[in-house]
Structure 1
Amino acid sequence: MNNEDPQEEYWNKHVIMGFLLSGFFLFGNFFYLSHMTWLFAPVTSQVIAKPNRVVFQVLSFLLTQRNLSTAALWREFLHVLNGMLHGRTTESLVATWDGIWETHSGKLKLTLTGHIGQVRGLAVSSRHPHMMFSVGDDKLVKCWDLERDKVVGSYHGHLSGVYCLALHPTLDVLLTGGRDSVCRVWDIRTNMQYRAFSGHADTVCSVFSRSTDPQVITGSHDSTIKLWDLRSGNSMATLTHHKKSVRALAKHPTQESFASASADNIKKFSLPRGEFLHNTLSQQKTIVNAMAVNQEGVLATGGDNGSLWFWDWKSGHSFQQSQTTVQPGSLDSEAGIYALSYDITGLRLVTCGADKTIKMWKQDESATPETHPVNIRRF
């Protein structure tokens, strides 16, 4: 993309996070950063920080009894939601498929309807910020105009539910994967399928593309990860290191490497060839549904049992483990974390789970090393 493209400048002012979930989840710990070392502190008092110690605390808590199925976050953006945001450019929204919510007040701002089944994912185009894409169990892939709050395009081709999607960072290309074991490539200008990557033996549940190379990476319930050439449509490599379903992938924002999550372990690979680098040094011992890594190399993973672990990207060491607690009125089986993501700064984290709650974390600038000392023996 041309560096002078106003859409690129426009996009750099906000962030979008797409979540695969059936609800939201709230957990109850704080964590902070001391240079490259992140740690949690218990919620017993107000957390405080000073320079070089980044502390996260609850930003807002949103609870709804509706059947939430997808979420997204917009940050520092005033115009995409049809003028519904007012005030400073630092205001944020959280969008579920039940509607779009203000993070500071928890108020519902907008409701979009169109799918006839559970929505599995959302993504907003960096090249066309007024365009949002959604996928769901109804086999449908839809394009929404966020300025007019309506569907402006549909993509037909999947033979079963669509579980994941990703937009190419520099091309007008949409990637979708689903229960038909196929990753499909769409031209968003024509709404036509450009290519189909066939080779997985089970559901394609995670996908991402690289901006520096025409390459697509997919993860599947068949326990494999495949690397594809976007130009030719051929498979470049099949990674068989996992023994159980690969449910989540996360590429490092600045490094040519990515991580994959499964019930057997979390593994890291290099790009573009997919060489195996290492396993994490311990196991979360659950199905990991979601993962995200920030610019500082802090990998966060959310599990089906409500566990939230933080890892050092370089070493694979888990320096903090947390267990979520379901909200009053929810079942213990609804402790699972279904999605999580950092914002564009890497200093805020959003987690979502099965008990229909969402928790956002922000930097607290009043903590000191004395109030939250780092226990070096843990490392």
Structure 2
Amino acid sequence: MRHAAALAEAAQSSSRVSAARRRPRQLVAPSWHAPWKLQRVISGLGGWVRCVAVDPSNEFFVTGSADRNVTVWDLATGERKLTLTGHISTVRGAVLSPRHPYLFTAGEDKKVLCWDLEHNKVIRHYHGHLSGVYSLAMHPTLDVLMSGGRDAVCRVWDMRTRSEVHVLSGHTNAVASIITQPTDPQVITGSMDSTVRLWDLAAGKSMGVLTHHQRAVRALARGSGPGAAGSGGEHSFVSGAADGLRKWHASSGQFLFSMRAHEAMVHSLACNSDGVLFSGADDGGYRMWDVATGHCFQAGKAAVQPGSLDSEAAIYCAAFDMTGTRLITGGADKTVRVWREDPSATPESHPVDMDAYRAEVRRAEEAGAV
């Protein structure tokens, strides 16, 4: 019965996507955004940087890496403040609580840990995953933690009691990314089985399966800015895979449009309150998008740190700070990069290229992706 229900969900989602693909896309003039420039490169880490999280007070940020360490950095200066040790394998997920002095981390060692940052020590373990844990998220209003990993489930934890509230099962491969929100669906997961699932947190059941991607979905990001939830506009999210980016209506799961992004696997997505979406790929390529329209206003490739191999160019993680004015990325060359908008840029010096935008949409339509 459970298998039949999953197939019915998939069929319903596929028909919805097909209908969306037949609708002509309306061209709306993209908002102007200044290009972003590299401000600082932080080196000296002992392994690939796999996750990054920014402190809600905007004073520091945290990275997790393949050297098994969790590192706390001063956001203003980029100086290392603290190194936390407790994992015995690559740290793949990190999230900071906005209501408590707690940091949560997860790794390939199957561990999910809660750190008290006032005493800099582990105070809770969350046991249950059968294999490596790849992703973490915290509910914005409830004391509930979500973790996903190679065992193909998203586990929902009561943060305080460490009890397992739900096991959200249905994916057939690793859960690589999780986002949460206060309204239904409260949990959205992206998986290496190439699907995105929407979940009812209260019932612990899947509300829908989005099957537009043909490759592993390794990154998700909530849409932000003038068209985001809480601002009177659309309530959306973006999924990233090697076959491009897809934008969806969060509440209904309706497919909105595609963004033909990178030539390589997309590992990281981040969106700020101004509606700037960042995507980072396996080959070191990055793109900056106007998330409302899907217009790419900047593209480039980050040079690997001297001494690293060209194959170590991947951008594995990204996060904007609380003001949305700084972007922090981490990658396979064992560095952390901090980016800022170019203060000298103006709409006159860097105008919106409408011809390029129309060409982007046309290429997507010709490929049948819209």
Q: CA deviation at 1:95?
A: 4.3
TM-score normalised according to structure 2 size: 0.79
Q: After superposition, where does 1:1-379 map in structure 2 within 5 Å?
A: 36-38=31-33, 40=35, 56-69=36-49, 70-74=51-55, 76=57, 91-96=59-64, 97-128=69-100, 130-213=101-184, 215-253=186-224, 254-255=228-229, 256-280=235-259, 282-363=260-341, 365-367=343-345, 377-379=355-357
Q: Which amino acid aligns with 2:173?
A: D
SS at structure 2 position matched to 1:333: helix
Q: CA deviation at 1:62?
A: 1.0
- Total equivalences in the alignment: 316
* Distance change (3 Å), C-alpha of 1:102 and 1:343: closer
* Distance change (3 Å), C-alpha of 1:370 and 1:315: closer
The 1-side partners of 2:352 and 2:294 are apart by 19
Q: CA deviation at 1:94?
A: 4.8
TM-score normalised according to structure 1 size: 0.77
Query: 194-203 vs 64-73, which deviates more?
Result: 64-73
Q: Which amino acid aligns with 2:47?
A: N
Q: Which runs of 5+ in 1 are unaligned?
A: 1-34, 41-55, 78-90
Q: CA deviation at 1:327?
A: 1.6
* Distance change (3 Å), C-alpha of 1:263 and 1:312: same
* Distance change (3 Å), C-alpha of 1:167 and 1:323: same
Q: CA deviation at 1:193?
A: 0.3
Decide whether the 8 Å contact of 1:307 with 1:321 is kept in 2. Answer: yes
Q: CA deviation at 1:189?
A: 1.5
Q: Which amino acid aligns with 2:42?
A: L
Decide whether the 8 Å contact of 1:185 with 1:195 is kept in 2. Answer: yes
The 2-side partners of 1:293 and 1:342 are apart by 7
Decide whether the 8 Å contact of 1:305 with 1:335 is kept in 2. Answer: yes
RMSD: 2.3
The 2-side partners of 1:93 and 1:260 are apart by 24
Q: CA deviation at 1:343?
A: 1.5
The 1-side partners of 2:109 and 2:159 are apart by 20
Q: Deviations over 1:99-118 (max 9, x none)?
A: 32334544332121111111
Q: Which amino acid aligns with 1:261?
A: G
SS at structure 2 position matched to 1:117: coil
Percent sequence identity is 48
Q: Deviations over 1:274-310 (max 9, x none)?
A: 0111111x33121000011222222110000111012
* Distance change (3 Å), C-alpha of 1:319 and 1:228: same
Structure with bigger RCO (C-alpha 8 Å, 6+ apart): 1
